[in-house]
Amino acid sequence: MPRLSKEGFKHNAKIFEKTCQWCGTPFFASRSTAKFCSSTCRAYSHQADTLDTAAPWQETERTVDALLHQIAFLKSQIESLSRDNLQLRQALEKQNQPEA
């Protein structure tokens, strides 16, 4: 729990007045480098940092390249299937035409 008063510290201890970087609560700490009022705030901050980290540039670039290759492949498949569909429709029309 955060120490909201100077009680509980030794009488000759250095005490630093800090503000929690997560919740903004003012608290007293025995270390000058303290950033959070409690382990809960520290854990929430760490969790938020790990969720916000972006993928490395090279990994992102590889993903984009793979997606572009997949798009090109799918476009070629669509063109091929469209051609086949047109040929089948034409053959079906010829078959269904009455003979004169």
Residue type for position 5: S
Same domain, 63 and 37: no
pLDDT in tens, 68-92: 999 999 999 999 999 999 999 999 9
Same domain, 38 and 75: no
Same domain, 67 and 48: no
What is the end-to-end Cα distance of the chain in Å, rounded?
96
pLDDT at 82: 97
pLDDT in tens, 10-61: 666 788 888 999 888 888 888 889 999 889 999 999 988 887 666 666 677 8
Domain that holds residue 30: 1-53
Same domain, 46 and 74: no
Same domain, 1 and 39: yes
Same domain, 49 and 60: no
Same domain, 34 and 61: no
pLDDT at 92: 94
* Strand spans (E) along 12-100: 16-19, 26-29
Whole-angstrom Cα distance, residue 19 to residue 45? 14
What is the count of structural domains for the chain?
2
Whole-angstrom Cα distance, residue 86 to residue 93? 11
pLDDT at 5: 66
Same domain, 59 and 49: no
